[in-house]
Amino acid sequence: MAKAAFSSQTHTAGPRWPQSTETLIINRLTRLDQLTQWNTLVLFHAVDWFPTFLEIAGAPSGIDGISRWRFLREGGSSARTEFVYNIEPNSKGAIRVGDFKFIVGRPGQYNDWYPAPGKYHIPRSQFRGGKHDKVKLEKVPHMLFNITEDPREERNVAGDFPDVVKELSARFAAWNVTKVKPHSARRVAQSDPSLYGGLWSSGWC
């Protein structure tokens, strides 16, 4: 809740209202006449928050993400139509474009659906030394889900929409060439807990 000045005058007004020369950014949000709670299905990625706050503060952005300040003020359609879930170094990953989620390669382990907590009451003793069925993954080069109609991603509709698969394959390829090498962690001697009284430290921060 850092203070933000909105004029070149001396900032001694004090009252936290937009009309004064000194205010809190949070007040610019809470004093919107039409600010209310609503449900929406528009795409809003986590990286959009920082550019949004920058626009609210009147600061330049120029970073990843899309400012959603206008959407938060006025509603309407989304300025974002797609985003990348993740792309691995081996070029496997997933993207979202419109209503569709497109997965390239096998989605990995724990590829299953799990019930909500509390649905089943199983004695703790049954978890000791028990066995479980292995999850059977689909051996397909890609998977396609309509997130709007199938939010649990239970129906792979890649075979039903070959044109969409072709289009999103090209889009995935375009994103893939922009990926950067991951910053894999290396052993840092300066992070040894013995140097910090038994406490963990990154050693470089």
Nearest partner of 80 among 90, 92, 68, judged by Cα: 68
Average pLDDT, stretch 183-192? 75
User: What is residue 165's three-state secondary structure?
Assistant: helix
Written as six digits, the tokens of 49 are 């928050």
Dihedral (Cα; 30, 34, 38, 40), 10-degree rounding: -110
Q: What is the pLDDT of residues 30-51, one digit of tens each?
A: 445 555 677 778 888 999 999 9
Which residues are bridge partners to 3 per DSSP?
24
Q: What is the pLDDT of residues 59-94, one digit of tens each?
A: 887 888 899 888 888 877 888 999 999 999 899 999
Written as six digits, the tokens of 8 are 């070149």
DSSP 111-137: -S--PPTTS----GGGGSS---PPP--
Written as six digits, the tokens of 136 are 């059977």
Compute how many other C-beta atoms are within 10 angstroms of the C-beta atom of residue 73. 13
Q: What is the pLDDT of residues 133-145, one digit of tens each?
A: 555 555 678 999 9
Q: In order of start, what are the domains of the chain with their CATH numbers?
A: 13-79 (no CATH), 81-111+134-179 (3.30.1120.10)
User: What is residue 75's three-state secondary structure?
Assistant: coil
